[in-house]
């Protein structure tokens, strides 16, 4: 793996790590009773994710462009598969880190109610006291939580399936569109622009089937209509389906690229 590919993989890792940790934000919101504030503070991390995404796509596109111009397209598919592996590893790492992140984020939300200023909050985070709080928040996930999630009442099976599909499409949205440049170099610019169309399908699944359902569960837990454990079990199922989605992405990468080429040729 060369340096450029390593950077792209690291950017992918950051994107999927933050997306996985987003599930812990709902738990922190329930614990503090400040769901809206929790989501607002998490948007700071989402800025990092979007910046990483904005850098990743051009780097990958340039890599493909140079390979096509040099006529050295052999091994290109392996590069894309390694990038998807980075997404799977990020999801696993995020899942392991969720208990710690949830505790750290809960403290941040409570601290924000005192300081009521994001800059002041960020300064506090990097003080010795803030770092000591982060260290004391370290927790190792318990396997019993996973077994409880499997045996206990869970969220709708349809939501789990839709989340798996949505994550798979999001994972390959940009990758398949750029890889399509290998399949039809003459239309690589058009194919690259079609990533928004591919991701649009995942966005519809997310905003129609997944996010409203999880928001309803979060509100019901806050209002005492559901137990806190149900939300935790739901998060475990969603993290598991997210990991499954990144694995499914390996299977749909090439078919997705072929589909992108087909659409590009129709335009």
Helix (H, G, I), strand (E, B) or coil at 212: helix
Residue 204 is classified by DSSP as H
Provide the residue range defining the domain that includes 168: 3-266
Residue 1 C-alpha from the chain's centroid: 23
Q: Is 56 exposed, middle or buried (0-12, 13-18, 19+ CB in 10 A)?
A: buried
- If one counts the domains in the chain, the total is 1
Rounded Cα gap, residues 193 and 207, in angstroms: 22
Rounded Cα gap, residues 19 and 173, in angstroms: 15
Neighbour count for residue 144 (Cβ, 10 Å): 8
pLDDT tens-digit readout, 231-266: 888 888 999 999 999 999 999 999 999 999 999 888
pLDDT-above-70 percentage for the chain: 88
Rounded Cα gap, residues 5 and 134, in angstroms: 32
Rounded Cα gap, residues 231 and 155, in angstroms: 9
CA atoms within 13 A on the CB side of 232: 17
pLDDT tens-digit readout, 196-237: 888 888 888 888 888 888 888 888 888 888 888 888 888 889
Contact 10, 91 (CB under 8 A): no
Mean pLDDT of 182-196: 86
Which range among 15-19, 32-36, 72-76, 204-208 shows the weakest confidence by mean pLDDT? 72-76
Rounded Cα gap, residues 161 and 166, in angstroms: 9
pLDDT averaged over every residue in the chain: 85
pLDDT at 33: 81
Describe the chain by its helix, strand, coil percentages, rounded to 5. 90, 0, 10
């Amino acid at each position: 793996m060369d340096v450029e590919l390593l950077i792209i993989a690291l950017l992918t890792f950051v994107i999927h790590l933050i997306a996985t940790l987003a599930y812990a934000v709902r738990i922190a919101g329930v614990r503090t009773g400040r769901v809206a504030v929790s989501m607002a503070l998490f948007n700071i991390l989402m800025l990092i994710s979007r910046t990483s995404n904005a850098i990743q796509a051009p780097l990958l596109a340039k890599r493909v462009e140079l390979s096509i111009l040099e006529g050295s397209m052999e091994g290109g598919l392996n590069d894309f598969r390694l990038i998807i592996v980075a997404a799977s590893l990020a999801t696993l790492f995020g899942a392991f880190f969720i208990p710690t992140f949830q505790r750290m984020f809960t403290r941040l939300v409570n601290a924000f109610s005192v300081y009521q200023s994001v800059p002041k909050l960020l300064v506090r985070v990097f003080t010795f006291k803030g770092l000591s709080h982060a260290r004391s928040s370290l927790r190792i996930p318990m396997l019993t939580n996973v077994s409880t999630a499997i045996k206990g009442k869970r969220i709708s099976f349809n939501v789990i399936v839709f989340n798996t599909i949505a994550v798979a499409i999001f994972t390959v949205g940009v990758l398949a569109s750029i890889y399509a440049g290998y399949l039809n170099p003459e239309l690589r610019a058009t194919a690259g622009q079609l990533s928004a169309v591919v991701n649009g399908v995942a966005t519809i699944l997310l905003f129609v089937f997944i996010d409203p359902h999880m928001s309803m569960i979060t509100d019901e837990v806050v209002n005492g209509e559901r137990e806190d454990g149900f939300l935790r079990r739901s998060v475990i199922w969603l993290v598991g389906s997210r990991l499954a989605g990144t694995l499914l992405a390996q299977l749909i990468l090439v078919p997705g690229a072929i589909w992108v080429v087909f659409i590009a040729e129709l335009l």
